[in-house]
Structure 1
Amino acid sequence: MKDVQSGPAEVAMPIDRVGVKNLRLPVLVRSRDNKGEVQHTVASVDLSVDLPARFKGTHMSRFIEALRAWSEELDYSSFKRLLEDVRLRLQAERAHLIFRFPYFLQRLAPETGTPALMDYQCTLLGELESGKLTFELGVDVPVMTVCPCSLAICNGGAHSQRAIVRIRTRSTGMVWIEDLIAIAEQAGSSPVYALLKREDERRVTEDAFAKPAFVEDVVRSAADELRRLEQVSWFRVEVESQESIHNHSAYAIIELDKNV
């Protein structure tokens, strides 16, 4: 049959990325704390390649075929193999891949120890070109913050809110999702929990008010911990405070490339 995609383009212009988005795929993610165990979750997947100016289009079905042929744990090595397969199937110079998925951890309430699952949104992003893989791991972590200014000017009260700590890292060695979550949670005034009894609510409130933090404090604390991780070569931390008494959010960002 005629291969229309491989024919000449009406406008001879290269395309940076062309592919498919929002594919749903069951995946396995290795756990740090339960040695040898994997977590079953579902990812939203984007796949793309570059397209030279001489081709009219790419072969979309080959992206699906590559995913169908791939059934491994989601880690650095398997990610690279999938990207290489996509690049070869599509006869491209560069291949791009994004996995977005929820990762679940059982967290214990701070006073009663009541267990409940917390979900954290994770992202794996990769680009393969000339055999070199750029691999990026990210996680979004909710925390609680208490405003230091409000606490200083009020008699026993202060406004508090939920903030989101968004961490993105590139690394030369293994980085666990759990480690990034821990870094984000320690940076805030307090972690947040899925289930709290009254004793736990009191403990969370007291702990948070004992550690007030501006959005600037949170982003600096998280960045300082990421800077200490030897295997992390680049990171970006964004903290967005969903203000409770303002009709806007406050945010701060720190990005650091250790190779520069």
Structure 2
Amino acid sequence: MNQTDLNTKKQLPSKEERHKLFGSVDPGPRTKPVEKDKMPDLQNSREDFLFDLDAVGITNVKHPIRIHSSKKPEIQTTVGTFRFSSSISKGSKGTNMSRFTEQLEKYHNEGFAIDLFTLKKFTKELADRLEQKDAFIEVSYPWFFERKGPFSDLAGMNHADASMKVHYHQDTGYDIEVSLNGTITTLCPCSKEISEYSAHNQRGQVSMSVTLTDDFDENSIDWKSALLEAAESNASARIHPVLKRPDEKAVTEQAYENPRFVEDIVRLVSADLYELSYVEKFYVSCRNEESIHLHDAIAEITYDKTSE
């Protein structure tokens, strides 16, 4: 572009004029108060609003968090997706939504570590802040862990999806549920049985949700690692981020030696969870992304040890 071109550039209207060109209008008259104490508070209206609400709050709140792990990396920063709520009676119109995020920001400024002790403290304080009898928090996040090749010992990062739910009620205390969704390899027993050679295998997703006992000690037990082990140790083979040829040979042969249906997976994982003394109830599901079908295969188990 030469100097002549620069001198003949388009002359644009001001930014204010451009906004008006595209529909902006001048502010209208302001008649309502701007001071908080003079504004009506509809959420705190008191009347018979017909029904109690089991839960009201906010969800899909993304926020940075810190977590601890018994596997490397032992301290890591990740992104948590939160849900906050409490129940309200039919005598209240609504809740104070801003108090949920105010509480989150307070904990963030103090270095928000995602552990059960902190979440229990968080829910009790949240119930007090909301002036309600109960409060609920759920946080889901990707958990990363180091995995080495079985032969080469070369390391890489795997991840699983973890979540924690804590419900506090001033009369009954705490209910705690933790969940993990991990990825495994499964090899089809039927395919192995009927084929002259080879067998089809697939990637499986194992989802586990467990209710923990009141005396669960998170300082001595990493529930994430325990659930991951329950899933992976019962699979045909584990998933690896780095595999050299000797590793691939080892993993392939291991899968062939340990064929598993989805039905087998959920029963074997359930047996491991049943043997964990700090687990009261559990739910296990497995979904195989079939390699020779367009559909997936699923199996599920729910079990309550307290009802025995």
**Bucket of the pairwise TM-score, normalised by the shorter protein:** over 0.9
Specify the SS of the correspondent of 1:244. coil
Question: 1:109: how far off?
Answer: 1.0
The separation in 1 between residues aligned to 2:52 and 2:278, in whole angstroms, is: 36
The answer as to whether partners of 1:83 and 1:128 remain within 8 angstroms in 2 is: yes
1:57 and 2:97 aligned: no
Residue 191 of structure 2 aligns with which residue?
150
Judging by fraction of residues, say which structure has more strand.
Answer: 1
Specify the SS of the correspondent of 2:103. helix
Q: 1:47 aligns with which of 84, 105, 113?
A: 84
Q: 1:88 aligns with which of 117, 128, 142?
A: 128
Question: 1:9: how far off?
Answer: 5.9
The percentage of counterpart residues that share the same residue type is: 31
Residue 27 of structure 1 aligns with which residue?
65
Report the aligned-residue RMSD.
1.7
Letter in 2 for 1:17: A
The answer as to whether partners of 1:160 and 1:244 remain within 8 angstroms in 2 is: yes
1:99 and 2:139 aligned: yes
Residue 41 of structure 2 aligns with which residue?
3
Question: 1:49: how far off?
Answer: 0.9
The answer as to whether partners of 1:138 and 1:167 remain within 8 angstroms in 2 is: yes
Letter in 1 for 2:247: D
The separation in 2 between residues aligned to 1:257 and 1:133, in whole angstroms, is: 18
The separation in 2 between residues aligned to 1:78 and 1:113, in whole angstroms, is: 36
The answer as to whether partners of 1:187 and 1:219 remain within 8 angstroms in 2 is: no
The separation in 2 between residues aligned to 1:116 and 1:34, in whole angstroms, is: 10
Q: 1:214 aligns with which of 238, 258, 261?
A: 261
The answer as to whether partners of 2:58 and 2:83 remain within 8 angstroms in 1 is: yes
1:187 and 2:227 aligned: no
Structure 2 length-normalised TM: 0.80
Letter in 2 for 1:215: V
Deviates more, 1:240-249 or 1:68-77: 68-77
The separation in 2 between residues aligned to 1:136 and 1:39, in whole angstroms, is: 22
The separation in 1 between residues aligned to 2:94 and 2:47, in whole angstroms, is: 8
Question: 1:33: how far off?
Answer: 4.4
Specify the SS of the correspondent of 1:5. helix
Deviates more, 1:109-118 or 1:169-178: 169-178
Structure 1 length-normalised TM: 0.94
Letter in 1 for 2:114: L
The separation in 1 between residues aligned to 2:54 and 2:71, in whole angstroms, is: 40
Deviates more, 1:192-201 or 1:76-85: 192-201
Specify the SS of the correspondent of 1:259. helix
The separation in 2 between residues aligned to 1:9 and 1:189, in whole angstroms, is: 60
Letter in 2 for 1:231: Y
The separation in 2 between residues aligned to 1:234 and 1:194, in whole angstroms, is: 32
Residue 18 of structure 1 aligns with which residue?
56
Q: 1:122 aligns with which of 159, 162, 182?
A: 162
The separation in 2 between residues aligned to 1:180 and 1:26, in whole angstroms, is: 24
The separation in 1 between residues aligned to 2:45 and 2:181, in whole angstroms, is: 43
Deviates more, 1:140-149 or 1:175-184: 175-184
Question: 1:8: how far off?
Answer: 3.8
| Higher radius of gyration, 1 or 2 | 2
The separation in 2 between residues aligned to 1:31 and 1:166, in whole angstroms, is: 19
